[in-house]
Chains A and B, each alone.
Chain A
Amino acid sequence: MATSPDIIIIGAGHNGLIAAAYLARAGIKTLVLERRHIVGGSAVTEEIYPGFKVSTLAYSAGPLLNQVAVDLELERHGLEFITPEIRVLALSPDGPSLSLYEDPVRTANELKRFSAADAKIYPEFVESFSRIGRVLAPLESMTPPAIESPTAGELWNLGKVGLQLRGLGKKDAYRLLRWGPMAVADLVAEWFETELLRATVAARGIFGSFAGPWSAGTSSGLLWQAAIDGHAVAPASFVKGGMGGLTRALMEAALKAGAEFRTEAAVERIEINNDRAANVVLAGGEELRARAVVSNADPRTTFLKLIDPLELEPDFLTKIHNFRANGVSAKVNLALSGLPSFKKVDDKANLSGRVHIGPEIDYLERAFDAAKYGDFSPEPYLDITIPSLTDPTLAPPGAHVMSIYVQFAPYKLKDGDWLTRGAELGDTVINQLANYAPDLKHLIVAHQVITPLDLEKIYGLSGGHIFHGEHSLDQFFTFRPLIGWAQYRTPIKGLYLCGAGTHPGGGVTGGPGANASREIIKDFRADRI
């Protein structure tokens, strides 16, 4: 780049890419720096064995904000979503498996095999979550208001949500208020009697969280995910070519708008001059200057690693230290010579969404118990996808790739460390899965285990937290990452955050990137940058 860019973005994760595209489209000269050799951050496709391509980390879109796809013309840049008819197939160790489809009526029919009462109530359950979700959804693309001195616009936006909330009617409004703080295990028990269904729905409330289904507040996780998705059951929202297909399209859009990129450009520190972000220093010593710096890295990495602590108020530093980001997730990715045969699954099409292992609430809770005491679950909760079933480009003919999301694998182990125990985790997962698909082990061509430590070391996720920090009520909306600093700005002038550590948080939604770029453009145009 001949002249200095206006803005440097640290990290080419999907949020960094979205921010870059919006900024570039606004005519702001933007440079994106990525530490790894590929862009995408946690949303990447990597070849784990010749011919086998896996979405190594994130494996389903959050889903992506529709506005982002429209604004950035992602389809034109090659993005293609694959949405199977089935959302989740829940496996049971001894009973029949349960299919939850996109279509509630079809699902209700399926549920009749389990419980007439559940079949009857299911459509209302889905509808009620959609209704409440529609009221919450606008929050996703809103910059959280400043509590101390909200602007008229912020109050107006909040007021609109408030009015819609009241518009829901007493019943739904009270549901929302009551459900928010509830344990998700209680919530599903209020609706359903089939244990397998309860556990499958509840799992979404604890996904990525240091919480079990009996932990208070886990219903809000489910409510929020349902709000951004419009559906109470977790989506199977895949991308052609794997999640890397999404971030490639985002990069194309950003490039087209004039943004520039450098990969293998690890930022070592952000230099501060007169309380203002000045230079970015790369590993190797190269210094880059810009008018503002936007960090797509998580808050802990940004403030505790990239900035000299002396530049921050002690009180702010303490709070960042206390920002909870103890990861609980791991991944096991498999290259398979064929499709495993799952017990009690007749229709292979039912394997094309998510495959859920975690048949009982108590099973999920016990999996969590292990994490509380610093061990990984002997019987973990698994969320499995076989994307090659709907996207043959990912594996050689007849062969398949399988992505296994594993919970709970706590970042901090009581005995040993992840350098030595990764293989053990991989074995645990494969053995557990083999209980459901006995021929699995014979089909494995190659496997990859990504421990929480790998998440930190390879993907730069502090504490191995896939959402850059817990999605708990005290770290949500105006409190994400910290109360007073939820508007993508930071105590350092000219330094912004645009990653999942800001509202609306983790998952491949694009919300943080889109919201942050809106605030940055505002500051840029007002000459505050």
Chain B
Amino acid sequence: MKNHYDVVVIGGGHNGLVNAAYLARAGKKVLVLERRHVLGGAAVTEEVFPGFKFSVCSYVVSLLRPEIIRELDLPRHGLEILPLDGTFTPMLNGDYLWRMNDHARTRREIARHSKLDAEAYYEYGRAMIEMAHFVKPILSMTPPDPTSFNLKGLKDLLFLGRRFQRLPSEDKYNQVQLMTMSAVDFLDQWFETDVLKATMSASGIIGTFLGVRSPGTAYVLLHHYMGEIDGAFRSWGLSRGGTGAISLAIAGAAQEAGAEIRTEAAITQIIVKDGQARGVVLANGDEITADIVSSSVDPRLTFMKMVGPELLPEEFVDDLNRYKYRGSSGKVNLALDALPDFNALPGPGIHLRGAVSISPSVEYMERAYDEAKYGRFSRRPYIDIVIPSLTDPSVAPAGKHVMSCFVQYAPYNLKEGSWDEKRDEFGDTVIDTIAEHAPNIKDIILHRQVLTPLDLEREFGLSEGNIFQGELTLEQLFFLRPAPGWAQYRTPIRNLYLCGSATHPGGGVMGAPGRNAAEKILSDLS
């Protein structure tokens, strides 16, 4: 049968591609179907304005699993990670905090704000690396079902318990705090410099509908140290050619292994017969049959749109309805004629080659969140800026630049008005906020692209604009992601699997869900 595949993968995002690559390498006949004209999903590079190439959504690399890079031989397929040097936080009083990848310089810089903090920073880093070692194996583990009496599940739970028990007592203390506390409460114990705490805590809230003082945000601080222990590359980096180059490298690996990839192939329906997935129907009416359907799109699209709730157990539908997306971030991409000039550290310089974080104080961060709670975007948002053209000149015309601004908070559900009405106002707010620190910004903008949570939903198929395909909060992690009892990549429909960020270990350009799901599919097949 010409049109029959072992596995059809829905969605050509990085997880779908990773999933396909592993399945193809295992000898399966695999087809990847992507709705858009470009591959990559949210890990995509697009020439939005002539000559200017943007990592439209995801813009930095930190967590891509090293085993995936190795096993799929991604560097041979064109992956090249360029270091992103440090984080620069301008402050409204004219001062700044600039943490670099150079430990000694960072230490001197922090000491300028607080000698105690400079001491603590090193200790903190060491403690975090210890913690990251503890968490790392959990990322590549299929979550056990804690309610089942199945032997494997019990063994996995026991493994986790033992692992925790064997931690030195200091690490146990830290681990418990990390899992339960707020980023700011946790950092308060280590540091006294407000701007340092504000900038560090920002990583705890990215993509969540939580503030830096909300319990549960401390855990994400760990992710920053995960890269360091992997040793394959620095903790933060940019991919040459934009984030899309990662997806293309993975696609290259998948194709080399024999996978077929089609773009502009939107799926309208997953064919289900007798409770079993049999293939998919494309928007043009074509039917493609397959033994297995593996969906990298989020559960709402997979089940509510492509399967249909009537074919699903009622309880599962309830669980899906409870699964929280509520995107909280937007993106503003700017094509620039020149570089922004920051009051706190004027002129061009290597401080612009890293991330520029608009997070001047803990209170600033918390107030940004407060506005979102009551249904409006922050008047002074947290912004994470990178200018990739400084590191990778191939993405902009000579002398010009691209600037990517990740903006939080921008709640999907606005109390007043719609995002279509508010898009420009949102864009202006972001520019105004940056202009407080770099007044020349308004004069150097050639083009601007504003992506609201609604745009993320429409363009990239991210329900409610959640960049992680569902909030990364404790009640939606591990054996609860995406639904209690369905955290093992299987679904209530036989032969239908999930392999996207809505499964363990969640969002970010990690690739782990795609790889874990492939492992599960292959073990079920054998």
Contact = CB atoms under 8 A, between A and B. Distances in A.
Interface of A: 147-148, 166, 169-171, 173-174, 177-183, 186, 190, 211, 214-217, 315, 318-319, 322, 324, 362, 365, 369, 372-373, 472-474, 479, 482-484
Nearest to A186: B324
A473 to B, nearest CB: 4
17 contacts: A148-B165, A166-B147, A169-B147, A173-B147, A177-B146, A180-B474, A181-B180, A181-B475, A183-B214, A211-B215, A214-B373, A216-B210, A318-B189, A369-B370, A472-B180, A472-B181, A474-B181
B172 interface: yes
B213 interface: yes
Contact of A147 (B172, B210, B480): B172
A499 B216 CA distance: 27
Contact of B374 (A178, A318, A362): A362
Interface string B311-328: 000010000001010000
Contacts of B213: 215, 372
Nearest to A214: B373
Which 3 residue pairs across A and B have the least CB separation, nearest first?
A181-B474, A174-B484, A473-B180
Contacts of B474: 180-182, 216-217
Contact of A216 (B172, B215, B322, B485): B215
Given A177-B480, A181-B216, A482 B173 contact: yes
Contact of B484 (A148, A170, A186, A373): A170
Contact of B165 (A147, A181, A217, A472): A147
B484 A483 contact: no
B165 A178 contact: no
Interface residues of B, number: 37
A63 to B, nearest CB: 27
Contacts of B189: 318, 322
B315 A171 contact: yes
Nearest to A171: B315
Nearest to B166: A148
Interface string B158-196: 000000110001101100110111000100010000000
A444 to B, nearest CB: 34
Contacts, number: 90
- Most B CB atoms within 10 A — which of A178, A181, A216, A472? A216
B473 interface: yes
B366 interface: yes
B215 A215 contact: yes
Contact of A181 (B322, B363, B370, B473): B473
B72 to A, nearest CB: 34
A348 B21 CA distance: 71
B180 A217 contact: yes
Given A177-B484, A216-B473, 12 more contacts: A166-B149, A173-B147, A174-B480, A178-B475, A215-B215, A216-B210, A217-B216, A362-B374, A372-B366, A473-B215, A474-B181, A483-B176
A365 B374 CA distance: 10
B45 to A, nearest CB: 34
Nearest to A476: B180
B525 to A, nearest CB: 26
A472 B215 contact: yes
A299 to B, nearest CB: 15
Contacts of A373: 363, 366
Contacts of B146: 173, 177
Contacts of B473: 181-182, 216
Contacts of B214: 183, 214-216
A174 B485 contact: yes
Contacts of B315: 171
Interface string B482-510: 00110000000000000000000000000
Contacts of B164: 147
Given A174-B480, A178-B484, A322-B189, A483 B475 contact: no
A407 B179 CA distance: 27
- Most A CB atoms within 10 A — which of B169, B180, B373? B180
B363 A217 contact: no
Interface in B455-493: 473-475, 479-480, 484-485
A142 B213 CA distance: 31
Contacts of B370: 369
A479 B176 contact: yes
Contacts of A148: 165, 169
B57 to A, nearest CB: 25
Contacts of A482: 173
Contacts of B479: 177
A183 to B, nearest CB: 8
A28 B53 CA distance: 79
B147 A365 contact: no
